[in-house]
Amino acid sequence: MSDVSESLIVYFSASGNTKSAAEKISRQTQAEVLAIQPATPYPEAYEDLATVGKKEIDEQILPDLAPLPMNLNAYQTIYLGFPIWWDQPPMLVARFLKEKGLVNKRVIVFATSYSSTIDNSLQVLKKWTENTAVEILGGFLANNEQEIQTGLASWTD
């Protein structure tokens, strides 16, 4: 397992599932958690959220981030979590990667979904970080305790 003080869990969650996964991962790893949010909050109603989220993907819009209360410099490993939207990460995650860089950091991805696997989301993340010094190690679905246990065992030393 990575040195506790060098790991941080960063997540986005619209309806709480990824937040719950992040908290479970925190209990396992002792890493701190940090939520990212859009500067303009997403609508709560599913239909409205779906409309906004789909438009962002279709038009490749990177929504602005709400200010982060902490600096990521001290952390070497970032657990990056999000809900899968249309078989990929929300565009807010692209904004986070672009703005925060994560250069020379190792990124372990976790995601929650209704039925999608994490495979395409990992491909999209690798595309978003192409030619950068961000290392996407891999990732796992974190929909339940079992997936989290197995995922952490696979991606931490």
Ligand X SMILES: Cc1cc2nc3c(=O)[nH]c(=O)nc-3n(C[C@H](O)[C@H](O)[C@H](O)COP(=O)(O)O)c2cc1C
Residue recorded with tokens 């395409």: 120
Q: Which of residues 94-153 bind ligand X (CB under 6 A)?
A: 112-116
To 5 degrees, how large is the angle CA 144–CA 126–CA 34?
Answer: 50
**Contact with ligand X (CB under 6 A) among 16, 126, 138, 144:** 16
Q: DSSP class of residue 41?
A: P
Query: By C-alpha distance, which of 144, 137, 142 is closest to 108?
Result: 137
**Contact with ligand X (CB under 6 A) among 8, 9, 10, 18:** 18
CB of 35 to ligand X, least distance (A): 10
On whether the CB atoms of residues 65 and 96 are closer than 8 A, the answer is: yes
Question: Whose Cβ is closer to ligand X: residue 3's or residue 48's?
Answer: 48
**Contact with ligand X (CB under 6 A) among 65, 86, 100, 156:** 86
By CB under 6 A, name the binding residues for ligand X. 13-19, 46, 49-50, 53, 83-87, 112-116
